[in-house]
Each structure stands twice: as C-alpha cells, then as structure tokens.
Chain A
Amino acid sequence: MVPRYLSPSLLIAGALVLSGCARAAGTATADAGKVVVACGATEEWCAAMTSAFTATTGIKSEFVRLSSGEALARIQAGKSDPEFDVWHGGPADGYAAAAGHGLLESYLSPNAAAIPGRYKAGDGAWTGVYVGVLGFCANTEVLAEKRLRAPESWQSLLDPALKQDVGIAHPATSGTAYTALWTQVTLHGGNVDQALAYMKRLHPNVLQYSKSGAAPAQQVARGEVGVGVVFSHDCVATKEQGFPDLRVTFPSEGTGYEVGGVALIKGAHDPVSAKKYIDWALTPAAQEIGPSVRSYQAPTNPKARRSDKSADLAALKLIDYDSTAAGERKLELTRRFDAEIAKAPKS
C-alpha cells in the first residue's frame, strides 16, 4: 500500500469536484423558439403530437418519452436548470404531485376555458387533454366456454364462476387499479371500509395483482383470464393488435376515469413557446390526433370530434371522481390493501 496517503487524497479531490455546489439557474426569460416536451403517453402519440405542433406553428419541438414517475423524478432532479419546457400526457395525479413539489408553473391558457372544470386544476397548474374511462375488458371466447356473459356491473364481477378469472393490477403500483379502488370508495359514499370489503370479496376471483395497469388487457387477450379491469382505451388498442374476441363493457353503477394532463414546467427555458404548445394541445385539432396513432382516450375539449372507438363521455355514467382526495388518501388505502387483501389466501 505504498501511497497510503494517495487513496484518501484522491477521494477527497474527487469529492471536492463532485460536491461543488449546484448553482440555481438565473431566471430565464429568453426563448430559443423551441419546445422540449416530457411526454407521458406512447412513443407514437408523442411523435405525432410534437410533429403536428411543429407543422402548425413552425416552432421546433422535441420530446423524451417518460412514464409519470420517471418524468417527475427527472423534473425534480433538474429543477435548478430544467431541461423540459412542457409536460404532456400521463395521468393527472402525477401532475398534482409535481405541483405539490412546486415543479409546475401555473398557466391558465385562454383555450382552457372550453375544458370542463372536472378535467383541469382550478389554479391552472395543469389542464386535461384526454380522458381514459375505467371499464371491463372481456374475452368473449373464454367467457363463452364458462357460459358467462361479459360483466355489466361491479356486482357481476363477484360471480363465483369467475374464480381466478379476473385480471386487475395492484393499486399501489398502478394508477389504473388505484382508480378502480377509489371508484369503489366513491360508490360506497366515501366509506373506505366498505370499499375494501368489496375488494376483499373480489379477491378470490383475482388471478394476480399485476404490476402494470395495462397488463390485465394482455392477460385477457391471451385468454389467461376472462375479464380485466382496465382503461377502456387499453382494451380497444389491444383488440386492434389482432385479438378480435375482446369486448369493452362499462359498469352500470358508475365508473371512474383518469385525466391526462399538460403543464408548464417552472423555470422553463422557452416559456413563450411552451405556452403556445399548451394552447395548441387544448385545441380540438390537437386532441383529434390520438386515434390516428391508436390512442383511443376521449378528448377533453367538447368541440373535438370523438373517434367511434373512444368512450362516449356523455353517454356513460361517470362517478364524481375527486382526484385531490384520492391522491391524499392513496398511501393509507394502498397500505391497507396490502395488509388486508393482497396477502389473504384465495380460497
């Protein structure tokens, strides 16, 4: 160990360089005439959106596809010198969490006036660009083998004939499944115990609580389970991949939904262009792009034409989904779900 002093001094030198302070960025007012988007939807959707924006406005745009949590982690790590200007797509609870950490800049777009109040944050932290409705995805062939019909209500999902034949994700890890859980809370008048009691009765029918919210759609498509609790657009998109036996139904008691957002990042380097992007994302033209790239969420702008493959928000019985309350009680509910339900034997 000749240079005894060497290793420590190397370490110290390295640590010195690395621990240099991260200086807060000066307030950027200049605008480079381009938009960098953190995009939370599918690769195709992101590419279609940014290129359509550039074609419409002539402003350059580029994107990185990130899931909500990844986007949030990345925006948080870079808050002193943001690399993104806009966050577009992905569930609004992620946006709410980001707003809670002070990572978003409120922006009330003039175009946001057209968006119904339930699909946007009152203070302009984020505005909804699409709505995904929770539904059932049934494999009619598998159900026919068991002489069952596609379920039309939350109650019919409890049918003992569906033992281990329901696919649903874990509410702690999947926004889809948490939407389902909070839907139960709302349907039971806010009574958490009764909502968990419903999940407990459903438990014997659940094959497994998968990690990702879209996974049950795949399980249904491959016939591993008869019914999946998923966002209806996931079921439609899976059907289009070449699984003609899939059928979407909605529960008659009422169902929950997720809102996909768009928001301005605090300290964005190109705030002017970013605002233009948000204005554009709320227009009917922008919201009609989704179905062309197999994203069948419903538009939030009532003036946007609805694809016949998207859920008809006007015709469905939607519950009054309080996403703020849902977000606040998430930890408590998922902990209880883990302890009281997921561990129970399935007999």
Chain B
Amino acid sequence: MPGSRGRTGAVRTQSPSEDPPRAPRRRRRETSVLVAIIACVALVLVGSVFPIGAVLGTALSPQAWPRYVEFFTSSVDLRILWNTLALGVLVGLAGTAIGFLFAFVQARLDVPGKKVLHLIALMPVVSPPFAVATATIVLFGRRGLVTHELFGLEYDIYGLDGLVFVLSLSLFPVAYLGLLGMMHSLDPAMEEAAMTLGASRWRVFRTVMLPLLAPGLAGPFLLLFVEAIADLANPLVVSGDYTVLASRAYLAVTGEYDTTSAAVYSLILLVPSIGVFVAQRYWLGRKVRTTVTGRPSGTVHLITSWARWPVLALAVLVSLVIVALYGTVIVGGVTRVFGVDHTLTFTHLREVLLGVGQEALKDTTLLAAIATPIAGVFGLLIAWLAVRHLPRSGGWLDFAGTLGVAVPGTVLGIGYLLAYRPSRYVGDLEVLPGLVGGSAVAGGAVAIVLAYVVRSVPAGLRTGTAALSQLHPSLEEASKGLGAGPLRTFRTITLPLIRPALLTGLGYGFARCMTSLSTIILLVTPGTHIITSQILSAANTGRYGVAFAYCTVLTALVLAGFGIIRLLVGRTTTLHRVSGRYAR
C-alpha cells in the first residue's frame, strides 16, 4: 500500500506513457458525457468565442493591418506591451506567493488566530472596482495617511509599484483558496515518510511539498497573470504614466472613439495569455503528480518550532495592510470626506440603501444569483471533461472557458454588442432575437447574465482543473467498474472529493459577478441597474464617500452570498477521509 502511493507521488516523476493514470480512451462515449460536452461547447461558443470572434474580425480586417506595423515599430506601443507582460509576471508571482504564505500558515503552522487570518485573506475576493485602488492612494499615496502623515514620506505610489501592490492584494485569494484546498488534501504520509528517512522540515518542504503543489502553484499563477493583464479599473486609478494594454484598449474606445485600435490592442493582449496557457499545459502535461488517491493517511504534523513566528509575522503584516485598506473603504463610506473631514455621516449610506442605489442593489444581486450556480457548474464540468474525458481537444475547451477573463472586459462587452445586439435571421426566420439593449429579450438581462457567467466560469474551471489533476482517477474507475455512469460517478465520487474547488469556484464567481464592471457597462439598459456602474459614476465625479458606501454594501452582500453558498454546498461531509477507511 505505501509502496503504490510512493510510485504515484512526487518522489519520482513519471511520464504518462509508463503508467497512464487516466482512463483508457477510445471507448464508446456515454450519452450523459456527450450531453455535457454539447452544453459546455455551446456555452463557450455563445458566451465567449463568438463575441470575441466578432471583435477579432475587426482586428484582422484589412483596414486594421497597418496598425500592427505601427504597433511593432512604435516604441510607445512596444513599451505598453512590455509594461503589460512585466505587470502580469510580477502580479502572478507576488499574488501566488501571498496566497501560498496564507495557505501554509493555515494548513501547516501551529499558531493562534488562524480563523481570523482566514477571514482576512478572503476579504479581497470582494474587491469592488476603484475601492481598493482609491483607498491605497488615500493611505499610501503622495499625501497618504500612512506614508505622509505617519512617516513623513512623499512616496509616489502611482505606477508599476502601486499596480502590483493593489492587484496582488486584490487577486491573491483565488491562489490562497486553491492552495489551501490542495494542502489539505496532500497526503501527509509522504511527508511523514520523508521525515522518517531523516529529512529536515525545510528539506521536506522543498523536495516533497513544493513539487506536489506545483500544479497548484501554476494554476493560480496563470489565472493571476491573465487577470492582472486584463484588469481595467485599477490601472485607470493607480497606473499614473505606466500604461498597459487593457487600459489602452479601453481608452481607445472611450477617448479616441477607435474600436479598430481597441480590437488590435486586445488581439495583442490575447497572445501572452494564450502563450502562458500553452506553456503551462506543455510543462504540466509532461509531469503527472497525483496525490489524492482517496486514501490520505497519517496525520498532519503542524510546525511547532520557532520558525513559525517569522512566517506568521509576515502573514500578519499583509493582513494588517488588507484590514487598513478595507477599513478605509468602510470608514470612508460613513465619513464626510475621508482623509480631510472625518465627521460621521450617514448620507452616503442612505443614498445607497434607500435612494437611487436601491434598484441597483436588487438588480445586481438577482442577476448575480442566477449566474453564479450556472458558472460554478460549468466551470467544474469543463474542468472534468478536459481532464478526464477529452485528452486532446479538452485543452481547447479549457482555453475557450478561460477566454472570459483573458480578454479585457471592454472588448468582451463590445463583442456582445456586435454579436447580440441585432436579431439574427436565416432567410426570413428569426433564429436568435437580439439579446442586448432595453428592447431585447427580458430587457437585456439575458446578455448580462451570460456575460456574468462567462466572466466567472474561469474561477471554478482553474481551481477545478488543479484539484482534478491531483486526483488519481482510480476511485472514479472503481465506481465505473461497479456500474455507475460517468455523471453519477462525477456527482457521487469526484464532486465530493473536489468540494473545496467547487466552493472556491462558486464563491469567487459570485464575487466576480457582483464586482464586474467593464463588460457590464456596455450592456446596462434602462431597466437594469448595476452597482458597479453606479460606483464608476460616483468615482468619476469625485464622490468617493458614495463610492465607498456602495463598496461597503457590495462587500456585505457578497459575504452574505458566501455564507449561503457554504450552507448549500458545505452540507456534504468530507468524503475522502471516510472512504479512505472503507478502502482499507
């Protein structure tokens, strides 16, 4: 038994040809799987591929060709490309590192206050556009309360440093949650074995834990990279003179009325995203490391030596910064002008809760609540199909599913306009009514929900893929051997095993829906009011008190959503421990 575990573990890396861990292919596919494939293909086709294709059609049309020559000969444009890549890599590294730090403290350190740290690490999942970036400027900017008032510095936060700071802090929770789930499901027996053989803690960490977690590290890095380079709201606030492709594409639309240039910038932005994706598949595809065989044994040995304190201190420091930023948002919502006039006032909150904001709160929550379960299910379904059932073409499905965040929201929004604003006819038959705009089906809400789904699927997809690639298929094979169909196996075996990933996917997806800005702004109609577009309006006119109040309420709503998702999804017990005992 321990022998077989050692073989699949990280001690030796094996190539798939030696011992293919996946189910044998080329058998008759079950109807249920077929239905799942069709549903997923339809979703990515309608939700991302076709709208993005509509934009790229513009980007590849002959009148856009000279723009590429211009781009690659203009030092200004090349600088923007370089800036974008640097930002993506730095945020990917910093965000994954912070996520790893928090997950490590949570899963492996014997320290007090872990519950509090967990909650703090979840806060940035809700990062309403503008809030964190603006709070950063108020606290750490040239005249920041911390940098200037406290330390007397005149630190210029605008630029790459500020962007990496804001984006890593906003994006790291997905890395944290993914890594935490993985660390919990790591088989401690492997570490025990290494320690029994005389390896030090550091050596175990370096040679056993890190290699085992590698797929888990690459997943968040990829997601963070793509999200960082596609992010819009933060560069608009803190980038200063540091221009990146996503904000350049947005400003080509809003400042220059030039959709062609925007499409060109977006196409160029897609290239590094695809590149990272392909590299990750190539790199991870060659090394198969499965640990969760459904039979984790032994107990986790929490670190009790002095070494836990510096690690904890680092995590606490990051937590303090997060608390300060979110504290600023909350306090800013109930003071007249935070940083200048700290008189307590409830006018901002009243405007949000009882005034013009009320409709927006209702509409946004309803639409997000519809989109979240759809996105969560499809995210996991695509991950499952890609990892287990479609060894070759699955990669494309996976990629198409990630497209929703790989392109800047503005571009996706324009794609929706181009693709779904007009009704479609084949001959005289209306095959697809217009989906966008106040006169469209359901007042344009269908397009908004679809956009929400497409923007949130990648969260569940990435965490699901990472969790599944760690899960040895033997349990599922056993289930199939006993006569269960693939969907039933998925529901009763796979799903419980990767429940943390589902939880992450749903929670993060809901937060994404609620805070999504750039796509939605092009789809709002007179009948649907969206919180983020109200925040944008308030921030644009310098009414940060109202913007902060919106963000506070938005955060509260998302946290309530997390609670409900936990209640609904968390009912399943952690099956793998139980089944482990039965397996013996």
**Given known A-B contacts A223-B143, A242-B336, A67 and B240 have beta carbons under 8 A apart:** no
Q: List, in ascending order, chain A residues with CB within 8 A of B251's CB.
A: 172-173, 211
Q: Is the CB of B337 within 8 A of A224?
A: no
A178 CA / B221 CA spacing, docked (Å): 39
Q: How big is chain B's contact interface, by range?
A: 35 or more
Contact status A20-B241, CB under 8 Å: no
Select from chain B the residue with minimum beta-carbon distance to A2.
B29
Please tell me if the beta carbons of A67 and B254 are within 8 angstroms of each other in the complex: yes
* Stretch among A10-18, A109-117, A251-259, A301-309 lining the B interface: A10-18
Among the 9-residue stretches B275-283, B417-425, B472-480, the one with 4 or more Cβ atoms under 8 Å from chain A is B417-425
Shortest distance from the beta carbon of B426 to any chain A beta carbon, whole Å: 4
Of the candidates B255, B417, B418, the one whose C-beta lies within 8 Å of that of A172 is: B255
Number of interface residues of A (CB under 8 A): 75
- The reply on B439 being an interface residue by CB < 8 A is yes
Residue pair B437, A174 in contact (C-beta under 8 Å): no
Q: Which residues of B contact A17 (CB under 8 A)?
A: 424, 426, 431-432
Q: Chain A residue with minimal CB distance to B428?
A: A23
A147 at the interface (CB under 8 A from B): no
Chain A residues with Cβ below 8 Å from B392 are: 1
> With contacts A10-B41, A72-B257 known, is A43 near B356, CB below 8 A?
yes
* In the complex, chain B residues whose CB is within 8 Å of the CB of A249: none
Question: Which residue on B lies nearest to A215, using beta carbons?
Answer: B237
Q: Does B490 contact A (CB under 8 A)?
A: no
**Of the 9-residue stretches A58-66, A128-136, A279-287, which lies at the interface with chain B?**
A58-66
In the complex, A325 has a CB within 8 A of chain B: no
A261 to chain B, nearest CB (A): 14
A224 and B142 form a contact (CB under 8 A): yes
Residue interface bits A72-93, CB-to-B below 8 A is 1, else 0: 1110111011010000000000
Cβ of A221 within 8 Å of any chain B Cβ, yes or no, is yes
Tell me if B562 counts as interface (CB < 8 A to partner A): no
Is residue A54 contacting chain B, with contact meaning CB distance below 8 A? no
| Cβ-defined partner of B526 (8 Å) among A36, A207, A212, A234 | A36
How far apart sit A211 and B74, CA to CA, in the bound complex (Å)?
A: 20
Contact segment of A155-163, A186-194, A313-321, A335-343:
A335-343
Q: Mark B525-544, 1 if CB is under 8 A from A, else 0.
A: 11100000110011011111
A222-B339 contact in complex given A208-B158, A211-B239, C-beta closer than 8 Å:
yes
Q: Are A77 and B257 in contact (CB under 8 A)?
A: no
Are the C-beta atoms of B46 and A21 separated by less than 8 Å? no
Q: Which of A20, A211, A214 contacts B424 (CB 8 A)?
A: A20
Q: Which of B28, B37, B393, B439 contacts A83 (CB 8 A)?
A: B439
Q: Which residues of A contact B75 (CB under 8 A)?
A: 339, 343
B256 at interface, CB cutoff 8 A: yes
**A232: Cβ under 8 A from any B Cβ:** no
Q: Contacts A1-B25, A14-B42, A343-B76; is A78 near B417 (CB within 8 Å)?
A: yes
- Cα–Cα distance between A64 and B259 once the two chains are bound (Å): 20
* Residue B521 interfacial (CB < 8 Å): yes
Contact with B along A217-231 (1 / 0, CB 8 A): 110011110000000
Q: What residues of B have a CB within 8 angstroms of the CB of A217 in the complex?
A: 542
Contact B259 A73 (CB under 8 A): yes
CA distance A184 to B584 in the complex (A): 82
Q: Which residues of A contact B434 (CB under 8 A)?
A: 81
The minimal Cβ–Cβ distance linking A319 to chain B, given in whole angstroms, is 22
Q: Is the beta-carbon distance between B241 and A237 smaller than 8 angstroms?
A: no
Residue A238 is within 8 A (CB to CB) of chain B in the complex: yes
Complex CA gap A214/B130 in Å reads: 14
Which residues from chain A contact B521 at a C-beta distance below 8 Å? 66, 70
The reply to whether the CB of B141 lies closer than 8 angstroms to some CB of chain A is yes
Which residues of A are found within 8 Å of B425, using beta-carbon distances?
20-23
From A18, A76, A80, A210, contact of B240 by CB (8 A): A210
Q: Are B143 and A224 in contact (CB under 8 A)?
A: yes
A107 within 8 A of B: no
Partner of A211, one of B156, B247, B545: B247
Chain A residues positioned under 8 Å from B239 (CB to CB): 211
A43: contacting residue among B25, B76, B534, CB under 8 A:
B534
Does any Cβ of B come within 8 Å of A277's Cβ?
A: no
Is A144 an interface residue when CB atoms closer than 8 A count as contact? no
Chain B residue nearest in CB terms to A339: B76
B303 contacts chain A at the CB level, 8 A cutoff:
no
User: In the complex the two chains form, what is the Cα distance from A207 to B137 in whole Å?
Assistant: 14
Q: How far is the CA of A258 from the CA of B83 in the complex (A)?
A: 33
Nearest Cβ distance between residue A26 and chain B, in whole angstroms? 12
A242:B419 contact, CB within 8 angstroms = no
Query: Cβ of B76 and Cβ of A211 under 8 Å apart?
Result: no
Q: Are B255 and A175 in contact (CB under 8 A)?
A: yes
Given the complex of chains A and B, what is the CA–CA distance between A221 and B425 in angstroms? Answer: 54
Please name all residues of chain B whose beta carbon is closer than 8 Å to the beta carbon of A247 when the two chains form the complex. Answer: none
**Chain A residues, Cβ within 8 Å of B440:** 83
| A241 contacts B337, C-beta separation under 8 Å | yes
How far does the alpha carbon of A81 sit from the alpha carbon of B421 in the complex, in Å?
Answer: 8
Check if B424 sits within 8 Å of A73, measured CB to CB: no
Which chain B residues lie closer than 8 Å to A1 at the CB level?
A: 25-26, 390, 392-393
At the interface, yes or no: A68 with Cβ under 8 Å from chain B?
Answer: yes
A243-278: which have CB < 8 Å to B?
A: 243, 269
Nearest-neighbour CB distance to chain B for A104, whole angstroms, equals 13
Given contacts A1-B393, A42-B541, 10 further A-B pairs with CB under 8 A are A6-B37, A15-B50, A17-B432, A18-B45, A18-B424, A18-B432, A21-B424, A70-B521, A222-B339, A237-B542
Interface pairs (15), CB distance under 8 Å: A1-B25, A6-B38, A10-B41, A20-B424, A69-B254, A69-B257, A70-B521, A77-B418, A207-B142, A221-B542, A222-B141, A242-B336, A242-B337, A339-B76, A343-B76
Instruction: List the interface of chain A (C-beta within 8 A of B).
Output: 1-3, 6-7, 10-11, 14-23, 36, 42-44, 47, 62-70, 72-74, 76-78, 80-81, 83, 94, 97, 172-175, 207-212, 214-215, 217-218, 221-224, 234, 237-238, 241-243, 269, 294, 330-331, 334, 338-339, 342-343
